[in-house]
Each structure stands twice: as C-alpha cells, then as structure tokens.
C-alpha cells in the first residue's frame, strides 16, 4: 500500500525546473565574462611559458580550462541560427530568435564594454586596440585545442595570437566603420541630415559589413591557428550570420551615437564617439 508521504506527493524526486523566460542576455553575459577571463589566462599562460615560468603558466591554463568547463555546464538556450530557421512553427522560431540574439548580445558585452572605453579615447583605432586581447584569447583557445598548433614554441604561439588576434580585431572594428563612412560620408555624421531612410540604410550597411567582417575574421583565425586544415565553412557561416544580426543592432546604436553628438554639443560628441565606435563594430564569438 502507498505510504502517507507518497499519497501527499512528499519525498518524491522534484521535477526538473523548466526555464520559461524569454531571452538569454544574463546567461550570455556569464558565458562572455568566463570566456574573456579564460582568454586572458591563456594569453598570460602562453607568455609565462615563453619566459620559462612553467608553474605559473600551468596554473593559468588550468584556470582557463575550469572556466571552459563552467561554460559547458551552462550552455546557451539557442547557440546557432540553424536552430532558429529549423523551428517547427512561427512562435517557436520567434522565441528562439530572441534567445539567440540576446545570448549573442550578452556574450559580446565584455568586448563591447572594452571597445566603448577604447572608442571614447581613440575612436575606431582605440576600439580595435581594446578588442585585441579578446581576439588573442580566442586564438589561444583554438591553439590549445589543436595538437599541431601546440607543436610551435610558446613564443611563436604568442606571436600568432598577437598577429591573428589583431587582424581579427581590425576586421571587426575599423573595417566596418570605414565601409559605413564611405557609404554615407560626412552627411551621415550630422543628425540634421539623418532622416529615417538614412538610419535604416546605416543599419543595413552595418549589418552586412559586420557579417562579412566577422566571417573574414573567423577565416583568418582558422588559417592562423593551423594553415593545413580545411576551412570550416559551417563555422564561418555561423559567425557571419551572427555578425549580421548583431551588426544591425549595433547600427542602431551607432545612429544613437550620431544623434547624441548633435543634441548634446561637446559632451555629446565624446559620448557619441564611444557609442559610434561600438555601433560600427559588433564582435561575435566563434
């Protein structure tokens, strides 16, 4: 016969909690912060190894791997655009699109924050410089996952992190900003000459430029880590689509930066420069 506890439903294993909330910004931010920390640890570990401080290097790499394990245990709700387009119905597709987009934004916030500071100080060049450590960390992570890449000396790996990480940062900041500037010219920097059609045009150009730049940056990093490997076109497409979506959002931010410069005079120009640098540059994690 059933016990009293069983009749009351007590003592039975709890049902797993179902996350019914829409969006994944906070989860993306958690993963982005862990990934950024892991990247810095990998760069520091590579530099320490090159300098002969092997114990310190081992501790930094262990810390990076621990962060990777935490991210693996805390996955994104939707991590691929393929999950969005394969949704069984419109409602599910919209929900997945929101989860996908907000996760990308959350994961990008650490880099976007650094770029905002860099953009405030040095425009798009400052934003590129600020993004470089994030891109270097991504290259370092790929190196450590590739046995052939790990055959290089620590000094060589560190140099490649700087070269290919720097190239990725430039592709994701200066190049999209240059494309937008050439498309719209000086008139696009005056809010008085920024009708709705120009705002929409800027968003479209930023989206396309960022998607192409992100895909190019992904290809550069793949080749830089191991030039003998065949390019992973699926991953390049993933980054390109993500960059296009995030670039559209950042294009809107860039338009807001333009308006801020016009509306607030000199103080607005400083804030607008930082926002505009980020608005033209939407880094996407591979």
Q: What's residue 22's pLDDT?
A: 66
Nearest to 248 by CA among 282, 275, 215, 197: 282
Question: Is residue 191 predicted with pLDDT exceeding 50?
Answer: no
Q: What's residue 270's pLDDT?
A: 52
pLDDT band at 193, cuts 50/70/90? very low
- For a pLDDT cut of 90, what percent of the chain falls above it? 52
Q: What's residue 123's pLDDT?
A: 84
- Its pTM stands at 0.76
Nearest to 220 by CA among 173, 169, 168, 176: 168
Token pair for 198 = 């120009």
Nearest to 147 by CA among 211, 216, 225, 206: 225
Q: What's residue 212's pLDDT?
A: 87
């Amino acid at each position: 016969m059933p016990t009293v506890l069983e009749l009351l439903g007590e003592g039975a294993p709890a049902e797993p909690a179902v996350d019914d909330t829409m969006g994944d910004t906070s989860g993306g931010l958690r993963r982005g912060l862990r990934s950024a920390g892991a990247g810095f640890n990998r760069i520091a570990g590579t530099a320490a190894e090159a300098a002969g401080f092997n114990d310190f290097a081992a501790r930094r790499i262990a810390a990076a791997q621990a962060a990777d394990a935490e991210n693996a245990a805390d996955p994104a709700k939707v991590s691929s655009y393929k999950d969005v387009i394969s949704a069984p119905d419109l409602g599910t597709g919209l929900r997945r699109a929101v989860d996908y987009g907000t996760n990308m934004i959350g994961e990008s916030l650490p880099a976007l924050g650094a770029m905002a500071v860099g953009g405030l100080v040095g425009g798009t060049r400052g934003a590129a410089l600020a993004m470089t450590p994030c891109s270097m960390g991504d290259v370092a992570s790929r190196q450590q996952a590739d046995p052939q890449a790990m055959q290089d000396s620590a000094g060589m790996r560190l140099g490649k992190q700087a070269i290919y990480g720097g190239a990725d940062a430039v592709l994701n900041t200066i190049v999209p900003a240059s494309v937008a500037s050439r498309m719209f010219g000086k008139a696009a920097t005056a809010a008085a000459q920024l009708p709705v059609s120009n705002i929409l045009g800027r968003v479209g150009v930023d989206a396309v430029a960022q998607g192409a730049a992100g895909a190019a940056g992904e290809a550069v990093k793949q080749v830089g880590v191991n030039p003998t490997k065949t390019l992973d076109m699926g991953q390049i497409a993933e980054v390109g689509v993500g960059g296009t979506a995030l670039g559209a959002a950042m294009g809107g931010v860039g338009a807001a930066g333009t308006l801020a410069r016009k509306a607030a005079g000199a103080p607005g120009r400083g804030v607008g420069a930082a926002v505009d640098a980020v608005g033209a540059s939407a880094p996407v994690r591979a």
